[in-house]
Structure 1
Amino acid sequence: MSRRRLLIPASMAALVVILFLNGASGTLLFARAQADPLAKVDAIVVLGGEHDGREAYGVGLAEQGYADTVLLSNPYHGTDAVMAEACQPRSDIEVICKAPVPGTTRGEALMARALAEARDWNSIIVVSWRYHLPRARKIFNECFASPTRSVVMRDVPRDYPFSVAKWQYTYLYQYGGWVKAELQGRCD
C-alpha cells in the first residue's frame, strides 16, 4: 500500500481520537463545572455573552438580597434591546452597565477590580455559562481576587441543548481561551 493511502486512514483515526478526548475531557471539565454556593456579596458581575437569561438572573439575585449592586458587562452596541431593558435604572438596586476594555473575560475582571477598588467591594458573584466557569474562575482569581477580595462563581440556571458538533466547538473554544489566559498570566 502506498504511503498516501495509509496517511488518510491514519489522519481520520487521529481526528476521531482528538474529538473523543476533547468531548470526554470537555464534558468533565466544562459541562459539569461546579458553581459556588450563593452568599451575600458587595456586587454581582454578569459577564457578557449570549442573552441566555444571565442579565435577569443577575438582577434577580440582587432582588433576592445577595447584593445591592449589579454590574452588567455591556460590550454590545447601543441598539441591543436586551441590554437596553436590563440597564434601566431601578429603585431597589443599583445597575451599572459598562463596556469592558478589552471586551474579554480578562477585561471584565479588570473592570470589576477597578470598581471594587473605587467602591471598596470585597466580594462579588460572577455570573456566566456553566462551561465558562472554570476559565472565568481562573481569570478572576488572577485579575480580581486578592487576600481581601473573593469571588463566588455562578452559572445561569439553564440547560444547554447543544449538538455534538456545538459541544466540540465549545470545548475547543474554552481550551483555547484557557491557553490564552495562561500565556497572559496575572493582571498585576
Structure 2
Amino acid sequence: MITFLARLAFRLVKLILVVAVLLGVAWIFRESLLRTAARTWVVDDPVLKADAIVVLGGGRDWRPFTAADMYLAGQSTVVLVTQPEKSPSQNLLQQPSEAEINTTVLTKKGVPSTAIRPLGQNVTSTRDEALALRDWVIAHQAKDILIPTDPFHTRRARWIFQRALEEPAQLYMFGPFPTLATQRRIGGGTRMDSSPFKLNWRKACITC
C-alpha cells in the first residue's frame, strides 16, 4: 500500500512539474504565441467587385476611409452606412451621430452622396447590423458584399453575419490594415497589440 501511494505521489509530482514547465514556456513566449493566434484569427478575403460595401458602426478612423478607397477603386457602386443608435451624450451635447460622421468622411474622400445608402435604424450591435444587411440583401437580390473592418473583428463579424444572412449572399471580410489600436511603436519597431484580439475572442465565446 505504501509503495503504491509513493508511486502515485511520484507521478503526481512529475505531472505538476511538467505542467509548471509548460506554463513557464508559454509565459516566456506569450507575446509570440498571442501574435500567432491573432494572425490566425484575422480573416482577409480577396477583395473583389461586389454589390455593396458596408461601413459598420465604430472604427470611424479607418472603416469609412477604407470603404471610400474601395469605392474609388471600383469595387462597388453602393456604400451602405449602418445607423447606430445615438448615445445619451451625443443627444445631450447635440453631437453628430456615428453614421453622420461616417457619411461625411465618405463624401470628403470623394464618394458621391448618391452612392451612399443608410442601413438599418438605431442598431446597437453587430447582430443588429447583420439583420439589417440581410433585409437589404433580400430586397436588392445582392450576391456579394464587402465588409471592411479592423483585423481582430473580422472572424467574429463573419460568423455573426453568416448566421444572419443564411447564405443568400457571399461575404468578403477585409481587415489586413494596421490601426492605432492594433499597433504600438517600441524602440523604432512595431509590435502588434493582442488586446483587441483577446477582447474579440471573449466576445465570440459569449456570442456562441
| TM-score normalised by L of structure 2 | 0.65
3-state DSSP of counterpart to 1:74? strand
Matched, 1:79 2:96: yes
1:112 Cα deviation from its structure 2 partner: 0.8
Highest RCO, 1 vs 2 (Cα 8 Å, sep ≥ 6): 1
Within the alignment, does 1:161 sit opposite 2:167 as a pair?
no
Aligned-pair CA distance for 1:23? 5.5
| Residue 203 of structure 2 is aligned to residue 177 of structure 1 | yes
Who is 1:149 aligned against? 169
Query: Deviations 1:143-173 (Å, cap 9, x if unpaired)?
Result: 1241x4110110162343248xx94542332
1:50 corresponds to: 59
Using the size of structure 1 for normalisation, the TM-score is 0.71
Q: How does 1:2-17 map to 2 (within 5 A)?
A: none
Identity %: 21
Q: How does 1:127-146 map to 2 (within 5 A)?
A: 127-146=148-167
**1:40 shift after superposition:** 0.9
When residues 20 and 62 of structure 1 are mapped into structure 2, their CA distance, relative to the original with a 3 A threshold, is farther
Query: Structure 1 runs of 4+ off > 6 angstroms?
Result: 15-22
Structure 1 equivalent of residue 134 of structure 2: 113
Q: Distance in 2 between matches of 1:155 and 1:120?
A: 25
Choose 173-182 or 28-37, whichever is displaced more: 28-37
Q: Which protein has the larger Cα radius of gyration, Structure 1 or Structure 2?
A: 2
Identify unmatched segments of 5+ residues in structure 1.
Answer: 1-14, 183-188
5+ unaligned residues in a row in structure 2: which ranges?
A: 1-22, 186-191
> How big is the shift at 1:54?
1.4
Partners of 1:93 and 1:20 in 2: CA distance: 54
Distance in 2 (CA, whole Å) between partners of 1:52 and 1:90 is 16
For the residues of structure 2 that align with 1:161 and 1:83, how far apart are their CA atoms?
23
Instruction: Give the direction of change, closer, same or farther, for the CA distance of 1:37–1:87 in structure 2 (3 Å limit).
Output: closer
Instruction: After superposition, give the CA deviation of every residue in 1:36-67 in whole Å (9 maximum; x if it has no partner).
Output: 00111110112222222210211221222111
Superposed CA RMSD: 3.5
